Amino acid sequence: MPEPSLRSSLVPWLRLFARRRRRLVLGTLLLAITHASAVGLLALSGWFITASALTGLALAAGLAVSLDVYVPGGGIRFFALSRTVSRYGERFYNHDTVLRFLADLRSRLFAVLARLDERSLARQRASDWLNRLTADIDTLDSLFLRLLAPPLVALLAVLLVAALLSLWLPWVGIVVATVLLFAWGWLTLGQAWLGMSASRRQVAHLQRLRGQLVEHLQGQAELEAYASQGWHRRHIEEQEARLQHDQRFLARWAGFGVALVNLTVGLAMLAALWLAALAWQQEAIGGAVMVMMPLAVLACGEALALLPMAFTHLGATRGAADRLNALVRAGEAVSTSGSEPLPAGPLSLCLHNVSLSYPDALEPALSGIDLSLASGRRLALSGASGAGKSSVAALVARRLPPSEGEIVLGGVPLAHVDERALRERVALLGQRVDLFQGSLAANLRLAAPRASEAELWQALAWVALDDWARDLPSGLETPVGEGGRALSGGQARRVALARLWLRDPGLVILDEPFAGLDADTVARIKPRLDAWLAGRSAIYLVHQLDGGDFDPPGITHEARLEQGKLTDCANHGHPSG
Amino acid sequence: MNDDAHRPTPRRWLAAHAAGQRGWLALAALAGFGAGAATVAQMGLLAWIVSGMLIAGATLGELGETFALLAGVLALRALSQWGQEVAGQEASLRIRQRVRAELLDHLAALGPVRAGERHSGGLASQLVEQVEALDGYFARFLPQLRLAVAVPLLILGVVLWLDWLAALFLLLAAPLIPLFMALIGMGAERLNREQFVAVSRLSGHFLDRVRGIATLQLFHRTAEATAEVHRAADRYRLLSLRTLRVAFLSSAVLEFFASVAIAMVAIYVGFGLLGYIDYGPADELTLFSGLLVLLLAPEFFQPLRSLAQHYHDRAAALGAADGMLALLAEPVHRADPQPLVGGKGLVALEAATLSHPGRGRVVGPLNVVVQAGEVVVVTGPSGAGKSALLQLLAGFVAPDEGQRLTRPELAIAWMDQRPLLIHGSLADNLRLAAPEASDSELSQALERARLGELLAALPEGLDTRLGEGGVGLSGGQAQRVALARVFLSRAPLVLLDEPTASLDEDTEARVVESLRALAAEGRALVIATHHPALMAMAGRHLRLTAAGLPANVEEGADA
């Protein structure tokens, strides 16, 4: 794949920024006022002191001269105040803007993630990836304050000072502008070019290091047993050395940029002083103006000061943008659904010669699966972990497209089914149960947003959680999920089951429905589940059927998966359980 | 000796690490001071040139040397600034490397069991992100902390020499400096704390929704969730703006004082030069001294403003150090085992017990001797301490009571349910157990672990890369890679913790077959298992009793 250009990496995000153009302009303006005040303060002060000294000397010599001290004095006080006020206003206003971007960025990316299929999500579910995602969002979030506003304001400051000097001596303005614009170009483009690849590699280096450390910690037993901890440590240290090599490189060049700011501003100051002195000798300008010129140049150094650090590390922002762009592309690559509705009542299901392969696996996850389930029947699909049960569930719930073969649901090819209809008519209880931060009621209403409180209590009663919930001090409003009340694995599973009950699916897929539940609870819930499943089709995914109390109710078919292939099918003459 | 009472404070621990890189940090501060001194010289020369021309009537030609000197000072200043950056970064890089090594050494000393009680992802983030979070503190904050005292003092000295009343203005601000510092500190720390809470809450909300995105998709609720993510971020914005409104005040105060100092000095000097002020030293003011005082006034505050910018680095480092110290405070109990002499015994436990924090005693007291060449099967209900027994035998954890004895220099091989696969080639993964092994030995070990077929199927054979970006192995295949390592290692004692758990029947049968081959080599095997096929291999059978009770060892020759 060709490397995306810097422009194509950043443009999608800049476009997002453009939506808040007015805030950007105002924020940049405030920043510019801060710097202009700094220039004004120092330049006017220098002018005033020199004018005072010259007037003082003239007075001492007995000349009748006078200096208006009130206008410059007032100006100095004004700039002192405007610099403080605009600095405060700028920081406050721009942080507000940044936080608004954060909201935009997060919701935009969430919408992208919401389109990803099971495979992309599974690859990215690792906590490491989530951390990187938030870090990437934060990196892009600070784009404006680090990479957009400062160069713009620095450019404005340079042009402003040059224009100011040109009022008296146009060629001083031109010389200063030339030197400082060259510096500006180097500090932005040059520093970015220097640091690009090293700063882009940073995240990859850190991630590699992190991966190796996780290996080191998780494999500590084996490494210690084989006395190879030192051997593995050396690998880690090599990776750390690569990381630090780049960090050292970046620090040197960023430091170079910082030094360069002061050097070029100093040299521009020197040039302005020399030229102004020449003009003064030719009596083209007064002494006070001659002093004001180098001081104005000196004061605009502050506007350039932030550039080298930010631009040397531009590659980090580019890397973040590239990763998020890849995510957006993955979301766009997922095929959109069809528009056909599903019939009412129980749904039949047919898999014709279905295979599923993951790109980096040696063997297909599923191969040549032929399976059919008449409406209203219940299939128990058993197999060891890794045999492919979850892949079957993901295919049937259209969380993944099959690599080969066709799936027909309720007489409609699965790929043609309307998304909303599919989600309403096919319910899946997976191995993982997701409870969200929020109240118990909010977690239940995920399944049925308009459900009344009475219905929620009914749902809880159905999974035998109503007594437990009634004992909670806040009842349905009890916060659950991370940061809330920790539910046991069994309770969480029952809440997830209650969520299914609140819907009216025609096909229900249950992965180990009774996992983590005790025998008493299973005995209470099993007949209710049996009754609710009447008039629906069902697929149970189980490790092993043993004919005991934990087998799900009313199995009509059995099939066994081994390493992605169906091995035997037995039809039960009568429902068991 | 490593208990809480002796635990250093984060500040002291950071200081100790800083002391280790005294040289580079001193160099950074020295270079920074050099830059400060060069700034004073630069301003002095600027004022000298101006005053020389306007007052003394010198021509540009006469001042040529001063111009050249000024250019030299500018270069010197740039060089010093570069030196400060580079030296600070060098200190920071070295300290970060050392901290990482210190943490890894401690984790190695704790051993697989005690270190394994912590979530490996959390530990890895401590070793990577948290260590990196120390950067700003050592590279920038610490050198700047010294400069924030030294450079203003230098400037104050110069101004005092020029005009004591102007110095008094700055000195009046000087007692305010600690106040500024406190203000900044309080502001920054409060900002940090509150922002941290709010940020983690917001990130928590976002991550919570991302983690559960599959469920949201299944319930067709992603559009609502997207809107909710936006609302949550917006709520967070309003909340943090309330904090920022106050927090930014502290830096505004600093900005205000710096600006007012310039304004006051300018007006004082101006009026003094005009002769409007006839007390104090004002009538001795010249254009040179007046201009220099003016130029130095902002530089007096500049180091403080830089420090304020780096203040959050300090908070970040203290936070990170706190977490690392909690890890380093975990006591290390492991010691070298007693030698086991005479007989066929490889390793022995005498009245050994093991407890886990929060769970109490998990196993023991145990008396076990493993003889060379025997196959011992350990069974018992889950929670009976089978893994603990193996960990004690391996020496991964020290018994709380009793002791472990081993034959001197005993090599062991280990395999559990979660085999280690390192990022690298298949060969790297095998050589972990025998760094010197030849390629043919590796192939042979794979063959014996029943992975010959896999090796033949791999596109690049032993050089095939495993894991992310390479070939993904199934759980059973990974298990057999671990087994191949056991074959490679030649260790006389092999400890296997549930080696066939979560394998399908077919794979399990292959693994059992391989283990038989291993026993046939005359190696001693200790296997913790539930599986009948493995139990059938037992030369000796240890049964541990149910959970919660101190386990007793029943020895019997039956299966």
Cβ–Cβ under 8 Å, residues B77 and B39: yes
One domain for residues A390 and A306: no
pLDDT of residue A252: 95
- How many CA atoms lie within 13 Å of B69's alpha carbon, on the beta-carbon side? 15
In the sheet that holds B345-356, the strands lie side by side as B338-339, B401-406, B345-356, B360-371
pLDDT of residue B559: 34
- φ/ψ of residue B466, rounded to 5: -105, 160
SS3 B73: helix
Cβ–Cβ under 8 Å, residues A356 and A364: yes
In the predicted model, residues of chain A with pLDDT beneath 70 are: 1-2, 122-128, 335-336, 481-486, 568-577
- Domain carrying residue A279: 6-334
The count of other CB atoms within 10 Å of the CB of residue B462 is: 17
Within 8 A of B53 by CB-CB distance, chain A residues are: 277, 280-281, 287, 290
Q: Assign residue A278 the CATH number of its domain.
A: 1.20.1560.10
pLDDT in tens, B235-253: 888 877 877 777 777 777 7
In the predicted model, residues of chain B with pLDDT beneath 70 are: 1-6, 174-178, 180-181, 183-200, 382, 467-471, 502, 546-559
CB pairs under 8 A between A and B: 402
How far, in Å, CA of A492 to CA of B217, rounded?
19
Within 8 A of B432 by CB-CB distance, chain A residues are: 222-223, 226, 228, 231-232
**Which of A220, A226, A446 is closest, CB to CB, to B112?**
A220
pLDDT of residue B49: 95
Q: Please state the domain count of chain A.
A: 2
One domain for residues A322 and A385: no
- How many CA atoms lie within 13 Å of A73's alpha carbon, on the beta-carbon side? 11
Strands (E), B334-446: 338-339, 345-356, 360-371, 375-379, 401-406, 412-415, 424-425
Closest-CA distance of chain A to residue B76, Å: 9
- Contact: A210, B221; criterion CB under 8 Å: no
Cβ–Cβ under 8 Å, residues B488 and B434: yes
One domain for residues A185 and A292: yes
Read off the amino acid at residue B348. A
Choose, out of A35, A49, A260, the residue to mutate when testing the contact with B (most B CBs < 10 Å): A49
Closest-CA distance of chain B to residue A551, Å: 20
Task: Confirm whether A231 is domain-assigned.
Answer: yes
- Contact: A67, B495; criterion CB under 8 Å: no
One domain for residues A194 and A308: yes
- Contact: A290, B120; criterion CB under 8 Å: no
Cβ–Cβ under 8 Å, residues A391 and A366: yes
Radius of gyration of chain B from its Cα atoms, rounded to whole angstroms: 35
pLDDT of residue B263: 85
Cβ–Cβ under 8 Å, residues A76 and B259: no
One domain for residues A307 and A384: no
**Which of B256, B275, B505 is closest, CB to CB, to A59?**
B275
- Tell me which residues of chain B, numbers 315 to 374, contact chain A at a CB-CB cutoff of 8 Å: none
In the numeric block, the tokens 């009022």 are attached to A167
pLDDT of residue A237: 96
One domain for residues A388 and A321: no
- φ/ψ of residue B367, rounded to 5: -125, 110
Q: Is the dihedral angle over the CA atoms B286, B289, B292, B297 positive or is it negative? A: negative
Residue A348 is classified by DSSP as -
Decide the pairing of beta strands A507-511 and A537-542: parallel
Burial A349-367 (b: 16+ CB within 10 A, else e): bbbeebbbbbeeebebbbb
pLDDT of residue A572: 47
Give yes or no for B81 touching A (CB within 8 A): yes
One domain for residues A179 and A285: yes
Alpha-helical (H) ranges within A511-564 are 519-533
One domain for residues A392 and A270: no
Cβ–Cβ under 8 Å, residues B445 and B487: yes
Within 8 A of B81 by CB-CB distance, chain A residues are: 255, 258-259, 262
Residue B410 is classified by DSSP as -
**Which of A50, A76, A446 is closest, CB to CB, to B267?**
A76
Last residue of a domain, one of A334, A352, A386: A334
Task: Confirm whether A349 is domain-assigned.
Answer: no
Choose, out of A68, A118, A215, A217, the residue to mutate when testing the contact with B (most B CBs < 10 Å): A217
Cβ–Cβ under 8 Å, residues B152 and B177: yes
One domain for residues A318 and A426: no
Task: Confirm whether A351 is domain-assigned.
Answer: no
Task: Confirm whether A409 is domain-assigned.
Answer: no
For B80, nearest residue in chain A (alpha carbons): A259
- Contact: B85, A258; criterion CB under 8 Å: yes
Read off the amino acid at residue B194. E
- Tell me which residues of chain B, numbers 119 to 158, contact chain A at a CB-CB cutoff of 8 Å: 120-121, 123-125, 127-129, 132, 139
The count of other CB atoms within 10 Å of the CB of residue B77 is: 23
Task: Confirm whether A564 is domain-assigned.
Answer: yes
Within 8 A of A394 by CB-CB distance, chain B residues are: none
3-state helix, strand, coil in chain B (%, to 5): 65, 10, 25
For A226, nearest residue in chain B (alpha carbons): B433
One domain for residues A313 and A422: no
- DSSP code string of A173-200: HHHHHHHHHHHHHIIIIIHHHHHHHHHH
Last residue of a domain, one of A282, A311, A334: A334
pLDDT of residue A567: 82
Q: Assign residue A432 the CATH number of its domain.
A: 3.40.50.300
Last residue of a domain, one of A334, A355, A390: A334
For B47, nearest residue in chain A (alpha carbons): A291
Nearest to A460 by CA among A445, A450, A482: A445
Q: Is the dihedral angle over the CA atoms B221, B222, B223, B229 positive or is it negative? A: positive
One domain for residues A395 and A310: no
Closest-CA distance of chain B to residue A499, Å: 9
Task: Confirm whether A357 is domain-assigned.
Answer: no
**Which of B81, B132, B208 is closest, CB to CB, to A481?**
B208
β partners of residue A408:
A350, A413
- Contact: A114, B434; criterion CB under 8 Å: no
| Host H or E run for residue A413 | strand A412-413
Cα–Cα distances in Å, from B379 out to A313, A398, A441, B416?
57, 43, 45, 15
pLDDT of residue A339: 86
Burial group, residue A451, by CB count within 10 angstroms (0-12, 13-18, 19+): middle
One domain for residues A386 and A465: yes
Closest-CA distance of chain B to residue A78, Å: 9
Task: Confirm whether A385 is domain-assigned.
Answer: yes
Task: Confirm whether A511 is domain-assigned.
Answer: yes
pLDDT of residue A576: 39
| Host H or E run for residue A236 | helix A229-281
**Which of A57, A225, A430 is closest, CB to CB, to B413?**
A225
Within 8 A of B503 by CB-CB distance, chain A residues are: 384
